[in-house]
C-alpha cells in the first residue's frame, strides 16, 4: 500500500453551522448520482468546512468558510486556513491505517459535536481526488455555474498516479465505454452552482512521477535504462532510493546507474513512450490516451489546461518557472528543452547547474523531465506548443487558495445543501 497505491488519501469533511436545525438535507451528487460525503444543513447561514487530509508525506487541515451564495468568505485575514501537521497514514499499512480511521470515527461519534457518519472518514480514491481538484480550480477561477465549454481541464501529477479531469458534453458522456466491475466509471455527474456537469476523470495508477521512473526502467531492454540516468550516478541514498545505482519503488528494485557515455534525450524518450503503452491494443474501437484508456472524447472542456503538482515543482527546479510564483504559463516544449539540456550533464555538473534540486532527485532529473514532456504530448495528446498553465496556488479575492482537492471536496458537500 505504501507506494503501489499512492493515490490513497485519508480524508474527511466536517460541516459546522452557526445554527444547527434538527433536520438535514441529502449529500452532494457525485459519480453518476452516488451520494458521497457528509450531509450539510441548509438554513441560509454561513457554513464552515473543515477538511483533514492525511496523505503520504503528512497530515493537513484545511478550513473554509462559505456564505449563502457558496462564495468563500475570509476567516480573519485568510481565505483558507491551512495547517501542516506531522505524519501521514499512507506509510503505516492498511491494517494500522484502518485502526486509526476507526479511532477517528469513534471520536467523532462519542466526543464531538460535529455532524458525522462512519463513511465520512474514508480513503479517497484517485478518481475522487481528480474530480475534487477539477472542482477546486474551476470554482476559484469563477467557472462553475457556466457552460462546460467555459471550464478548464486539470492534470495533476502526483508521485504514484496522475489524474486527468475535464468537462465533456452530455453526448460524449453517453459514449463512455463500460468498465470492469470494481473500476471507477469514466464519467462523473456533478451538480454545482445549479449547473450539471459531465466530468471525464481518470486516475492512472503507476504513472505518477516516482512510479513512472520504475515503469520506464522496467521497460528497458538490457542496460539501455542508463540512457535516462545521468553520468556519475552510482550511489544515492534517500526515502525511495537505494545505493549502488539502484532505484527502489514499492517492493521492486531496478538497475539505475549511469554510464560513462551519459544519458541520451532521444533514447530515454523512446523508453518513456514504450512505458506509457501509447499503442496499447486494448483500445481499438475508440481514441485513447495511453495504456488502453479512453480519452473522454476531447472538446472545449479540455482546450484550457491547468497542470499541477510535480509539473510545477520540476519546472521551477529546472529554472523555466519562478519558484515563488503561484501560476505560470508554459508550453510542453519547455519541458522538452529543459530535458535536452539536463540529459547532457553528469551528476556533478547538474548539481552545480540546478542547486534547487535535492541530492536524491538530481540523478533522475533527465528521466523526470523527459517523462513529463512525453506524458503531455504522447500520453494526453497536448500540442507541444500549446499554452498550458502550471499552478500551485490560485488568486482569489486578494488572497491565494491551494490548487488542491480539499476545497473541491468541501464545496461539493456545501453545494448539496
As a whole number of angstroms, the distance between CA 394 and CA 391 comes to 7
Lookup: cell for 214: 520504475
Long-range contacts of the stretch 22-28 (C-beta < 8 A, 24+): 24/115, 25/416, 25/417, 26/416, 27/413, 27/416, 28/190, 28/191, 28/412, 28/413, 28/415, 28/416
Q: At 414, is the secondary structure helix, strand, or coil?
A: helix
As a whole number of angstroms, the distance between CA 334 and CA 336 comes to 5
State yes or no: is 129 an active-site residue: yes
Q: How far is CA 24 from CA 133, 182, 263, 301, in A?
A: 26, 31, 60, 34
Q: Which residue has the cell 479511532?
A: 103
As a whole number of angstroms, the distance between CA 379 and CA 401 comes to 29
Q: Under a CB-based contact definition with an 8 Å cutoff, are residues 186 and 179 in contact? A: yes
Lookup: cell for 348: 556533478
Residue 356 DSSP code:
T
CA dihedral 61, 62, 65, 70 (to 10 degrees): -140
As a whole number of angstroms, the distance between CA 220 and CA 175 comes to 36
As a whole number of angstroms, the distance between CA 302 and CA 201 comes to 12
Catalytic residue chosen out of the listed positions 129, 215, 231, 412: 129
Lookup: cell for 121: 472518514
As a whole number of angstroms, the distance between CA 339 and CA 228 comes to 10
Q: Report the 10 Å Cβ neighbour count for 378.
A: 16
Residue 289 DSSP code:
S
Active site residues: 129
Amino acid at each position: 500500500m505504501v507506494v503501489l497505491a499512492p493515490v490513497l488519501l485519508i480524508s474527511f469533511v466536517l460541516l459546522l453551522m452557526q445554527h444547527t436545525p434538527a433536520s438535514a438535507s441529502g449529500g452532494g451528487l457525485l459519480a453518476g448520482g452516488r451520494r458521497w460525503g457528509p450531509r450539510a444543513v441548509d438554513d441560509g447561514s454561513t457554513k464552515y468546512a473543515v477538511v483533514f487530509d492525511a496523505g503520504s508525506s503528512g497530515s493537513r487541515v484545511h478550513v473554509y468558510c462559505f456564505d449563502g451564495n457558496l462564495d468563500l468568505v475570509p476567516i480573519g485575514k485568510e481565505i483558507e486556513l491551512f495547517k501542516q501537521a506531522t505524519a501521514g497514514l499512507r506509510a503505516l499499512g492498511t491494517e494500522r491505517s484502518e485502526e486509526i480511521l476507526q479511532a477517528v470515527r469513534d471520536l467523532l461519534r462519542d466526543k464531538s459535536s460535529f455532524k458525522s457518519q462512519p463513511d465520512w472518514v474514508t480513503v479517497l480514491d484517485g478518481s475522487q481526488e481528480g474530480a475534487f481538484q477539477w472542482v477546486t480550480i474551476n470554482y476559484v477561477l469563477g467557472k462553475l455555474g457556466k457552460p462546460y465549454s467555459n471550464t478548464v481541464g486539470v492534470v495533476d501529477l502526483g508521485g504514484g498516479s496522475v489524474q486527468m479531469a475535464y468537462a465533456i458534453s452530455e453526448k460524449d458522456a453517453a459514449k463512455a465505454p463500460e468498465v470492469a466491475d470494481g473500476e471507477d466509471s469514466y464519467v462523473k455527474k456533478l451538480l454545482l452552482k445549479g449547473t450539471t456537469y459531465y466530468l471525464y476523470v481518470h486516475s492512472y495508477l503507476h504513472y505518477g512521477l516516482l512510479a513512472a521512473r520504475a515503469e520506464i526502467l522496467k521497460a528497458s531492454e538490457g542496460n539501455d535504462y542508463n540512457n535516462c540516468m545521468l553520468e556519475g550516478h552510482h550511489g544515492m541514498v534517500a526515502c525511495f532510493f537505494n545505493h549502488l545505482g539502484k532505484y527502489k519503488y514499492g517492493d521492486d528494485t531496478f538497475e539505475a546507474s549511469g554510464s560513462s557515455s551519459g544519458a541520451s534525450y532521444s533514447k530515454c524518450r523512446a523508453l518513456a513512450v514504450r512505458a506509457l503503452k501509447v499503442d496499447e491494443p486494448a483500445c481499438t474501437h475508440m481514441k485513447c490516451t495511453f495504456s488502453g484508456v479512453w480519452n473522454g472524447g476531447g472538446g472545449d472542456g479540455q482546450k484550457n489546461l491547468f497542470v499541477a503538482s510535480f509539473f510545477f515543482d520540476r519546472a521551477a527546479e529546472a529554472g523555466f518557472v519562478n519558484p515563488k510564483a503561484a501560476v505560470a504559463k508554459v508550453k510542453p516544449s519547455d519541458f522538452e528543452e529543459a530535458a535536452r539540456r539536463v540529459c547532457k550533464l553528469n551528476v556533478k555538473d547538474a548539481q552545480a547547474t540546478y542547486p534547487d534540486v535535492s541530492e536524491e532527485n538530481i540523478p533522475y532529473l533527465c528521466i523526470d523531465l523527459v517523462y513529463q514532456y512525453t506524458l503531455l504530448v504522447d500520453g494526453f495528446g497536448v500540442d507541444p506548443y500549446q499554452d498550458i498553465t502550471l499552478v500551485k496556488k490560485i488568486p482569489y479575492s486578494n488572497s491565494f487558495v491551494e490548487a488542491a482537492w480539499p476545497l473541491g471536496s468541501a464545496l461539493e458537500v456545501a453545494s448539496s445543501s
